[in-house]
Amino acid sequence: MPWRLFIRMKVSPKKYLGQHFLVDENIASRIVDAFSPEAGEKALEIGPGTGVLTRTLLRRYGDNLLMIDIDKESTAYLKKKFPKYSHNILQGDFLSMSLAKLHNGPISIIGNFPYNISSQIFFKILENRDTVPLIVGMVQKEVGERISAGPGSKTYGILSVLLSAFYDIEYLFTVEPEVFDPPPKVRSSVLRLTRNNTNHLPCNETIFTRIVKLGFQNRRKTLRNALKSLNLPEEIHKLDILGKRAEQLSVEDFTELTEKIELVWKN
Ligand code: SAH
């Protein structure tokens, strides 16, 4: 193989894995600087790819950094690049891995997430919220706007409600496509989520999630119509809040509504 080709050979970007490699060191530092796990926490990088964030992360967290990438080409490349930490480089699917098996204690998460699965990553984080105190992640700009939106906004949705019940969410900054190779078609955003003090919602969480999901699946309808399939009794139907749309409700409003529904379902 000609030498020039050899040195260019890194990880060939695969579209179906959402691979867009960050090539701007300055942006990489801004992302890593936004991440400050507490002592004693493990850090997990999702999708290290060619390791642009990994290099700085390893300098700061050393053996406390774990990495998972689904792409064998990437993990092989990283093991060569960071031989001292090869035992911390895992090949696999973040969505199907067990965080509890990875480490028996808190794990903070960082990464330029594969955009095709970023919502699923956040749903998985929600399931593991008691072991994930901090997340700094890059996502597609629209997704970042949706997640960080509050009630009343057109982009406020299921993930914004569910995540903000348990995390403080900050939209840190926007990233242009040119800083990636290959550049994605969309702009990106960096978010930081910090676990809040809520251990449990005061209401039944399964019912809460069902109401939030149903409400937003029919976001143009009033809750009275959007929640029809639940066959709610008249005393709930006549509540003023049922005349509102899901996007107008805060986490507290959804919680109160769930409590009321629970009460009538119990009786
Ligand atoms: N962090 C790198 C790469 C970002 S691209 C950078 O900033 O340059 C997204 C990365 O996520 C790719 O390396 C891709 O292989 C990886 N990836 C895609 N799906 C994944 C999954 N399900 N689990 C773990 N990693 C995944």
Tell me the pLDDT tens digit for each residue of 147-171. 999 999 999 999 999 999 999 999 9
Q: What is the mean pLDDT of residues 117-144?
A: 97
Determine if ligand 1 sits within 6 Å of the CB of residue 137: no
Token pair of 178 as six digits: 């040119």
Kindly tell me if the per-residue pLDDT of 4 is higher than 90.
no
Co-location of 17 and 149 in the same domain: yes
Co-location of 117 and 216 in the same domain: no
Range of the domain at 218: 205-266
CATH number, domain of 153, equals 3.40.50.150
pLDDT at 7: 44
Q: Distance, CA 195 to ligand 1 centroid (Å)?
A: 24
Last residue within a domain, chosen from 149, 170, 195? 195
Show Cβ contacts of residue 82 under 8 Å, excluding neighbours closer than 6 positions.
51, 54, 55, 58, 89
pLDDT at 6: 46
Query: Element (H or E) spanning 144, and its range?
Result: helix 141-148
Last residue within a domain, chosen from 177, 195, 213? 195
Kindly tell me if the per-residue pLDDT of 262 is higher than 50.
yes
Nearest CA, atom 16, ligand 1? 47
Co-location of 124 and 20 in the same domain: yes
Token pair of 263 as six digits: 């009460």
Residue 185 belongs to some domain of the structure = yes
Residue 246 belongs to some domain of the structure = yes
Co-location of 168 and 187 in the same domain: yes
Of 81, 38, 84, 87, residue with least CA distance to 67: 87
Co-location of 9 and 129 in the same domain: yes
Residue 184 belongs to some domain of the structure = yes
Co-location of 61 and 115 in the same domain: yes
Determine if ligand 1 sits within 6 Å of the CB of residue 53: yes
Last residue within a domain, chosen from 195, 213, 240? 195
Tally the domains of the chain. 2
Determine if ligand 1 sits within 6 Å of the CB of residue 117: yes
Q: What is the mean pLDDT of residues 227-249?
A: 95
Co-location of 145 and 24 in the same domain: yes
Co-location of 231 and 180 in the same domain: no
Nearest CA, atom 18, ligand 1? 17
Are 189 and 141 in contact by the 8 Å Cβ rule? The answer is yes
pLDDT at 10: 79
Determine if ligand 1 sits within 6 Å of the CB of residue 71: yes
Residue 118 belongs to some domain of the structure = yes
Tell me the pLDDT tens digit for each residue of 57-98. 999 999 999 999 999 999 999 999 999 999 999 999 999 999
CATH number, domain of 241, equals 1.10.8.100
Kindly tell me if the per-residue pLDDT of 1 is higher than 60.
no
Residue 200 belongs to some domain of the structure = no
Nearest CA, atom 20, ligand 1? 70
Tell me the pLDDT tens digit for each residue of 39-55. 999 999 999 999 999 99
CA-only gyration radius of the chain, Å: 21
Residue 24 belongs to some domain of the structure = yes
Kindly tell me if the per-residue pLDDT of 5 is higher than 60.
no
Kindly tell me if the per-residue pLDDT of 2 is higher than 90.
no
Co-location of 88 and 11 in the same domain: yes
Of 231, 229, 227, residue with least CA distance to 242: 227
